[in-house]
Amino acid sequence: MKRIKNASPKAVLIVFVIGTLCLAGCAGVMSKGAPETVNCNAKISWEIVKEAKLTQFDCAIGTHGGQTSLIFNVGIENTTETPLRYRINIFLEDMDRASGHLVPRKGKPPVLEPGKSASVKIPFIGTEQESKKILVVVKTISID
């Protein structure tokens, strides 16, 4: 490992403390919002907005469109007092693949009413094995 010339011990300590705080903050965000039961054998990181609650998260190998696919079934509940639309993204980090879904997909307006739940199927077509490292991101989106 290369040493930085003329770096004072205070500067090194400050950089170390800031880096540690950033990592600790990210770790707290990623674990927040995981559903009570997860039927998927993987290390999963969660980034879920406070306006949503995942009620289901399952993954299995099956067929979709006549092809072998890794299929995720995700249930989401609107925990606010206002109608919202959500974007769910699933990243298979060890396979460099990603997919997503809008919840709800259609509607006039396309929103999930307060206290209501919806389930979506998110397939990774052509994926014949389960991922070992997954990132799940749930955000609210504008319905303009």
114 in any annotated domain: yes
Structural domain total, the chain: 1
pLDDT at 28: 33
96 in any annotated domain: yes
For residue 71, pLDDT over 80 is answered with yes
**CA 84 distance to own-chain centroid:** 17
Of the pLDDT bands very low, low, confident and very high (cuts 50, 70, 90), residue 29 is: very low
Mean per-residue pLDDT, 116-138: 96
83 in any annotated domain: yes
Of the pLDDT bands very low, low, confident and very high (cuts 50, 70, 90), residue 9 is: low
For residue 135, pLDDT over 60 is answered with yes
CA–CA separation, 42 vs 131, rounded Å? 6
4 in any annotated domain: no
27 in any annotated domain: yes
pLDDT at 17: 40
What pTM was computed for the model?
Answer: 0.75
Q: What percent of the chain has pLDDT over 70?
A: 76
For residue 119, pLDDT over 60 is answered with yes
- The one-letter amino acid at 12: V
Q: Which residues does residue 85 pair with via DSSP β-bridges, in sequence order?
A: 141
Tell me the three-class secondary structure of the chain, residue by residue: CCCCCCCCHHHHHHHHHHHHHHHHHHHHHHHCCCCCCCECCCEEEEEECCCEEEEEEEEEEEEECCEEEEEEEEEEEECCCCCEEEEEEEEECCCCEEEEEEECCCCCCCCECCCCEEEEEEEEECCCCCCCEEEEEEEEECCC
Mean per-residue pLDDT, 45-73: 95
For residue 5, pLDDT over 70 is answered with no
Q: What is the CATH number of the domain that holds 69?
A: 2.60.40
79 in any annotated domain: yes
1 in any annotated domain: no
Residue 129 is part of which domain span?
9-141
2 in any annotated domain: no
